[in-house]
Amino acid sequence: MKILKLLLLVTLFLNADFDSALKGQSKFLSPQEAFKVSVVEDGDMIKTKIILGNKIHISDDSLKYKIIKPKEFELNITRPKGHKLNGEKVYAKDLLVDIPISDITSQNIKGDYTLMIVFQGCSD
């Protein structure tokens, strides 16, 4: 009988409607909604932009800009000013980083290349 009660309790918990508990709160954002990334070549610069969703931030420690093809290396970027959250430097709202194309061509890259932006984001 105890097993049946426990099973019934677990079943009720798993089938509970939590929609009412979330009313008035923000919905969870998909990665596509939380992080909108764009990259544009403009003259001798590559302009990158990450638009962050409401109450989303990116950790500075996780932010990396890399060329992965035709060879792999990390770019030294000028990081924008962030702010502290729980003792950690983070970025919120729009994250804009410009990369001089000369930083890529100076690594003996000619022709096409692949830029990869690595980051980890969290909600506030």
Residues in the chain, overall count: 124
The residue among 67 and 7 whose pLDDT is bigger is 67
| pLDDT band at 31; cut points 50, 70, 90 | confident
Instruction: Give the helix ranges, DSSP H, for 23-122.
Output: 31-34, 102-105
Structure-block tokens of residue 55? 């109450």
Domains of the chain and CATH, by start: 27-123 (2.60.40.1250)
Q: What is the dihedral of CA 41, 46, 52, 57, to 10 degrees?
A: 170
pLDDT score at 25: 57
| pLDDT band at 12; cut points 50, 70, 90 | very low
| pLDDT band at 24; cut points 50, 70, 90 | low
CA atoms within 13 A on the CB side of 58: 28
pLDDT score at 19: 44
Quote the percentage of the chain above a pLDDT of 70.
79
User: Which residues, 6 or more positions from 92, have their beta carbon under 8 angstroms from its beta carbon?
Assistant: 52, 56, 57, 58, 83
User: Which residues, 6 or more positions from 86, have their beta carbon under 8 angstroms from its beta carbon?
Assistant: none
**pTM for the whole thing?**
0.74
pLDDT digits (tens, 9 = 90+) for 42-88: 999 999 999 999 889 999 999 999 999 999 999 999 999 999 999 99
Q: Which helix (H) or strand (E) holds 116?
A: strand 114-118
